[in-house]
Amino acid sequence: MNGIFRIGLGQDRYSQTMNPLYLKISRRLVPFLILLYLVAFLDRVNISFAKLTMNHDLQIGDDLFGFAAGVFFLGYLLLEIPSNLALLRVGARRWIMILMITWGLLAMATAFVPGSNLYIVSRFLLGSAEAGFYPGVILYLTFWLPASVRSSVMACFVTAIPLSNLIGAPVSNAILLHVHAFGLHGWQWLFILEGFPALLLGILVYFLLPDRPENVSWLTAEEKLILQTELATTAPATSTRPHASIFKTQISVFWWSLAYFFLMLGLYGLGFWIPTILKSHGTSSESLGWVTALPYLAAVVGMTLWSRSSDRRRERRFHIFAAYVAAAAGFLIAAFAPNSAIAILGFAIAAIGVLSAMPIFWSASTVQLAGPLVAAHIAIINSIGNLGGFLGPTLMGWLHGSTNTFVFGLASVAIFLLMGALTVALITKPSTAIEHQLT
């Protein structure tokens, strides 16, 4: 994990110019956060493989599977805001510990659902338990790092998504095909074995994840003072006209939420369906896990280089816009691919685009949010945006069930991503000098 982190921050020329204090903080916190998010994202990887045999056992069609995959994100909509506010009150380590233990137990319990109705309920409850984790980490990083370096740090954190596929895809496929013990099917063992790490790591969070800079002994008093000053200096200035400032912030939150909605539609339209689509192109069951991982291997490299470019140039919007367009192009290539090789190429471009946009998106959006409502604003963007996680899989499942082809579903996701690129282009440019510098 530290090796992956060094790829993102540690051993390149750019990292040598990065403030040593920020490098010290990042190397202490981010590898463990990557591990936590990797485990969280296994829930989205294993379901795409469980589908290959679970759907038959539970009598679930593609349209119902897509709906169940999307229901996961309705829990996000309901609970992300109160979860982020709870994190502020309870503290990061306690709250993230509670979330991880809860979702680990729920993930393991999914193995024992007897039919489609309880399966849908279990997905909703699992999404509700996980709802606070990702926005909570985004909020958590604002306690430790200024916006000027958060894009590269977020890029390291978001590498958990492709890493979860690089590791989870072949492991999930192997469990599905070869683990059949105590009368349980492979898909049931998939949920049990990949839910347990969340339970274990949730316990470790309490001991390994500090709440705030002032709570740690590995920062000197001088470093804590410097960090406090830097965070205060780089925070966006509040308006002398509070009502105008609140209105402007709410408009900004709306636009960023809409842009994130389109991005999440692409992320989960991609993730839940890759194994099924590649298998429809003739990929064998034995090689499916490794082949599914290839687009995410490309994404690890692409997103790291793109985030570095954004930070070096201190430019956000064009980098986000270009990433959306690249993702749309990848989906179109996959939609009309004549064989599995071209489909893999399309999915690789789509994965690079979607995952490259994510860390830069949060660096650009959070720099415009200030004041006591920042936790709620981050949660609003993430919860509304994750409705795309509901629509993407649901739309793909419905269109495939209706047309018996994935062309229309993939092409529709591409159109939505182009709408997302247009939304990013229309977001009002920053008005203050510090915002202009950072975005």
- Token pair for residue 401? 């069930």
| CB atoms closer than 10 angstroms to residue 412 | 19
d(CA 284, CA 123): 28
Q: Is 291 exposed, middle or buried (0-12, 13-18, 19+ CB in 10 A)?
A: buried
Number of domains forming the structure of the chain: 1
Q: Tell me the DSSP string of 254-293.
A: HHHHHHHHHHHHHHHHHHTTHHHHHHHTT--TTTHHHHHH
Q: Is 419 exposed, middle or buried (0-12, 13-18, 19+ CB in 10 A)?
A: middle
CA distances from 198 to 131, 159, 166, 225, 348 (A): 14, 18, 18, 35, 28
Q: What confidence tier does 397 reach under pLDDT thresholds 50, 70, 90?
A: confident
3-state secondary structure of 84: helix
**Residue 319 pLDDT more than 70?**
yes
Q: Which residue has the higher pLDDT, 52 or 104?
A: 104
Q: What is the pLDDT of residue 366?
A: 66
Q: What confidence tens digit (pLDDT) does each residue in 279-291 have?
A: 888 888 788 888 8
Q: What is the pLDDT of residue 369?
A: 56
Q: What confidence tier does 112 reach under pLDDT thresholds 50, 70, 90?
A: very high
**Residue 439 pLDDT more than 50?**
no
What percentage of the chain carries pLDDT values higher than 90? 29
Q: What is the pLDDT of residue 375?
A: 63
310 phi and psi angles, rounded to 5 deg: -65, -45
Q: What is the mean pLDDT of residues 171-175?
A: 89
CA distances from 243 to 201, 226, 248, 305, 409 (A): 43, 32, 9, 40, 43
d(CA 189, CA 235): 47
Q: What is the pLDDT of residue 327?
A: 95
d(CA 108, CA 197): 10
Q: What confidence tier does 116 reach under pLDDT thresholds 50, 70, 90?
A: confident
d(CA 378, CA 42): 23
Q: Which residue has the higher pLDDT, 428 or 416?
A: 416
Q: What confidence tens digit (pLDDT) does each residue in 117-126 have?
A: 898 999 899 9
Give the contacts of 205 (CB within 8 A, at least 6 positions apart).
36, 93, 96, 97, 100
Q: Tell me the DSSP string of 36-69.
A: HHHHHHHHHHHHHHHHHHHHHHHT--HHHHHHHH
The range of the structural domain enclosing residue 318 comes to 2-438
In this structure, of 165-179, 184-198, 424-438, the range with the lowest mean pLDDT score is 424-438
> Do 201 and 186 form a contact (C-beta atoms < 8 A)?
no
CATH code assigned at 64: 1.20.1250.20
Q: What confidence tier does 373 reach under pLDDT thresholds 50, 70, 90?
A: low
Q: What confidence tens digit (pLDDT) does each residue in 259-269 have?
A: 999 999 988 87
- Token pair for residue 238? 């509040």
3-state secondary structure of 367: coil
Q: What is the pLDDT of residue 215?
A: 86
Q: What confidence tier does 246 reach under pLDDT thresholds 50, 70, 90?
A: very low
